[in-house]
Structure formats: C-alpha cells, structure tokens
C-alpha cells in the first residue's frame, strides 16, 4: 500500500513539474490548477481531458499562455465542447483553429444539428484574463453559411475536393451556444472567424462584455487576398432571452450584431419559447460593411423588448435596420415591438432603416453624419400600390406608435 502511494505521489509530482509556469500561474488565479498541461496528446485532446477532469470536481479549467509542447499557441483540430456548470479561464493565451479543422472553436453540448432531442445546459462561462486572442485558421477549409459555395462565393481550401462538403455550415461559427441557461463570455478578442463570431439559439440569461472583433471580408491566404462571407459579429437567433451585450468594438464584413428570428414552427406547449426578448445592448463602437445592429423577423416570428443605448457606427448601410426584407413572408404587423434605441450616431444611407410594420418603438437622441436625405428611412410597403397614399405617409401608417425625438442631421 505504501509503495503504491509513493508511486502515485511521484507521478503527481512529475505532472505538476511538467506544467511549470501554467501551474504557478493558475494557482495565483485561485483555481484548482486543472490545465491541459497536466495531460498528454494533441492540444484539443489535452483540453478535453482537462474538462473531463474538472467536470463535477472543480468545474473550472485554465488554459495558460504557455503550452507544454513548447509553443505559445493552442492549435485546435476540432471544437472544444463545453458542458454545463463549467468555466473556461483563458489566461493571456492565443487559441487558433488549425488548417485541418472544420469545426467550431467552442460549442455547447447538444449544439449539433443532428441531435433530435437536445437537453439544456446551465452555467457556461468563458473568461479572458489579460490579452486573449481567438483566431480562425491561416488557411480555412471552409467559410460562410450553408448557402455559400466554396471557391465560387466564399473561400475554402476544401473547394473542388471529392468527398468534401462544398458549402459552408454552422461549424464555421467560432462560438456556438444552443439550449444554454446562464452563459458568460468576457474580455476576449476575435480575429477572422470562418463565419459569424458568435451564434446563440434558445439561450437564456447571457452576459457578453468587453469583446473586440476583427472580422474583415478579405483575408490573406498564401499571399493572396480571398473573400470570406457572412462575417457577422454577434448573432442572436430564435429563443434568446435576457441578454446583456456591453462594450463591444471592432469591425465586421457583415452585421456587427444581428437579432434574427426566422423560426416559425409553432410550439403548442410554450408558444412564446421562440421569441427573442429582453435584450440589452450598450456601448457599441463598430465599423461594418452592412449594419451595426440588424433586427429581422419573418412571418409569425417575434422580437420584442430590445433596449439599445450607445452606438457609434461607420459603414455603408445603416447603424440600425429594423425589419429586413428578402427572407420569406413579411413579418406580421406588431410582431417586432418595443424596440427602444437612444444615443445612436453614424453614417450610411440613413441612420435607422425600418422595413416592417413595427409597433411601440422609439428612437431618441440620434446623430446622422451621412449624406442621405433622412435620419430615419422607411420601406415597409414595397409591393403595395401607392396611387392613393404617398409612400412616406403609408409606411408610417403601417407602423404603430413609433416615437422619434432629437434627430440631428449634420449634412
């Protein structure tokens, strides 16, 4: 028995010594010192082993700046799958997708599209300490969403290869959370995700703060500029509720923040489960090819109770889009309601563009620096004849109780 104890202690000491810097660093952070450097294998294998070791014990994993393999980077061949009741501490580290990876960087359990009866996870946190960088691959195998063909519309080294999927899909999302109650991510920088940087579906009680995003349309691969589509920043999809999004900055090749509800399948047990609601967005500074904040719903889907305070936008289209055509049947009048935005500044064709029959909304303290004619523009009734009522009047009649106040046009 004593001999076995001695062997165990020697093995433990060897493991701790092999983690050197990482062990001492995490000890200072007050953790229980579970890091990938305590395990063997590839980077993703060691991270998964660390998560397995922390599950039900410390429920916390530290990913340090120094990799025990001698590098200063954690290179992933597949996704880090984060279970419920788990905190990932990213300590001054760089995490990057490898050129062989065709997967997310972080994904919640049950986020795979093939799971027919996904279960809920609770309390997932990803916390950056110091300077943390999350990067896409140098030469990504695939980019863009499921409607984009590799090599023709968006870049992918898998283009034209037999047996490889020739369109993008949800694996190109960098951080993908589905059916999560209680999610936090803060103090990380995102660079060159293969599609959206973040996507949330049926996620409740989330806090996203202190995020920097660098997601341009073009990246350089083998010395050549290539085009990557669907480079959104933060996307909230159906069923997202109680979000706080604060202090987000950077640039994106598509919408910087998008609230999108195209999920129209009825739920008899809980008719309101798919509505996006109770969303707080503040302190946004961004450059975007399209919009700073886009709010879209089609058919009978709903988005309501969205509160926006503080947006500085530079881009082509609008600081805000409310509505959004071209995705199916128009949204039912009033299903987008109680969108309240204040302290919005930016350029574009107009500062705010409204394309659905919204209700009970307000836009206050808006400064428009662009060259368009209107601070707030409307395109609600594109297909209806206008031989009786002028377009601007008709659009405003179709919307209900939209309050605008303190609109300033500088040009």
Q: What is the pLDDT of residues 130-147, one digit of tens each?
A: 999 999 999 999 999 999
What is the percent of the chain where pLDDT is above 70? 87
32-66 pLDDT per residue, tens: 589 999 999 999 999 999 999 999 999 999 999 99
Question: What is the average pLDDT across 308-319?
Answer: 98
Of the candidates 167, 188, 181, the residue with the CA atom closest to the CA atom of residue 233: 188
Question: What is the average pLDDT across 392-403?
Answer: 71
| Separation between Cα atoms, residue 345 and residue 370, nearest integer Å | 10
| Separation between Cα atoms, residue 139 and residue 157, nearest integer Å | 7
Domain coverage including residue 120: 2-409
Decide if pLDDT at 30 tops 70: no
344-373 pLDDT per residue, tens: 999 999 999 999 999 999 999 999 999 999
Question: Using 50, 70 and 90 to split pLDDT, how confident is the model at 338?
Answer: very high
Decide if pLDDT at 407 tops 50: yes
Decide if pLDDT at 224 tops 80: yes
CATH of the domain at 239: 2.160.20.10
Q: Which two tokens stand for residue 381?
A: 């009734």
CB-CB contact of 144 with 157 (8 Å)? no
Of the candidates 289, 315, 296, 314, the residue with the CA atom closest to the CA atom of residue 228: 289
Q: What is the mean pLDDT of the chain?
A: 89
Of the candidates 283, 305, 284, 286, the residue with the CA atom closest to the CA atom of residue 295: 305
Question: What is the average pLDDT across 85-109?
Answer: 97
| Separation between Cα atoms, residue 401 and residue 363, nearest integer Å | 11
- pTM comes to 0.89
Angle at 156 between CA 151 and CA 161, to 5 degrees: 75
φ, ψ of residue 48 to 5 degrees: the values are -65, -35
Question: What is the average pLDDT across 236-264?
Answer: 96
Counting the structural domains of the chain, the total is 1
CB-CB contact of 270 with 306 (8 Å)? no
Of the candidates 293, 321, 306, the residue with the CA atom closest to the CA atom of residue 361: 306
């Amino acid at each position: 028995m004593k001999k076995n104890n001695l062997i165990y202690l020697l093995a433990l000491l060897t493991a701790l010594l092999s983690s050197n810097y990482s062990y001492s660093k995490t000890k200072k952070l007050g953790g229980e010192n579970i890091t990938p450097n305590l395990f063997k294998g590839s980077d993703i294998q060691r991270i998964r082993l660390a998560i397995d070791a922390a599950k039900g014990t410390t429920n916390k994993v530290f990913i340090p700046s120094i990799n025990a393999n001698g590098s200063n980077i954690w290179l992933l061949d597949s996704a880090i799958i984060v279970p419920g009741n788990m905190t990932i501490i990213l300590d001054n580290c760089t995490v990057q997708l490898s050129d062989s990876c065709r997967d997310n960087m972080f994904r919640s359990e049950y986020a795979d599209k093939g799971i027919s009866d996904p279960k809920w996870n609770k309390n997932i946190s990803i916390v950056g300490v110091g300077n943390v960088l999350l990067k896409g691959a140098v030469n990504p195998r695939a980019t863009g969403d499921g409607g984009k063909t590799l090599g023709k519309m968006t870049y992918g080294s898998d283009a034209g290869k037999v047996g490889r999927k020739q369109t993008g899909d949800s694996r190109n999302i960098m951080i993908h959370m589905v059916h999560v109650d209680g999610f936090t991510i803060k103090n990380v920088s995102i660079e060159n995700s293969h599609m959206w940087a973040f996507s949330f579906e049926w996620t409740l009680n989330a806090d996203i703060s202190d995020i920097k995003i660098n997601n341009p349309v073009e990246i350089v691969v083998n010395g050549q500029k290539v085009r990557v589509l669907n480079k959104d920043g933060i996307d909230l999809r159906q069923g997202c509720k109680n979000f706080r999004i604060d202090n987000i900055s950077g640039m994106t090749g598509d919408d910087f923040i998008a609230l999108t509800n195209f999920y129209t399948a009825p739920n008899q047990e809980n008719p309101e489960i798919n509505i996006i609601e109770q969303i707080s967005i503040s302190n946004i500074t961004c450059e975007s090819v399209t919009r700073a904040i886009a709010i879209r719903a089609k058919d009978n889907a709903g988005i309501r109770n969205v509160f926006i305070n503080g947006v500085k936008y530079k881009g082509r289209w609008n600081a805000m889009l409310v509505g959004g055509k071209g995705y199916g049947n128009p949204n039912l009048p009033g299903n987008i309601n109680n969108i309240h935005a204040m302290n919005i500044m930016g350029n574009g064709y107009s500062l705010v563009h409204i394309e659905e029959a919204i209700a009970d909304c307000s836009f206050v303290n808006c400064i428009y620096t662009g060259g368009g004619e209107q601070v707030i523009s409307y395109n609600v009734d594109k297909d209806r004849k206008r031989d009786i009522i002028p377009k601007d009047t008709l659009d405003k009649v179709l919307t209900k109780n939209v309050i605008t106040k303190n609109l300033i046009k500088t040009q």
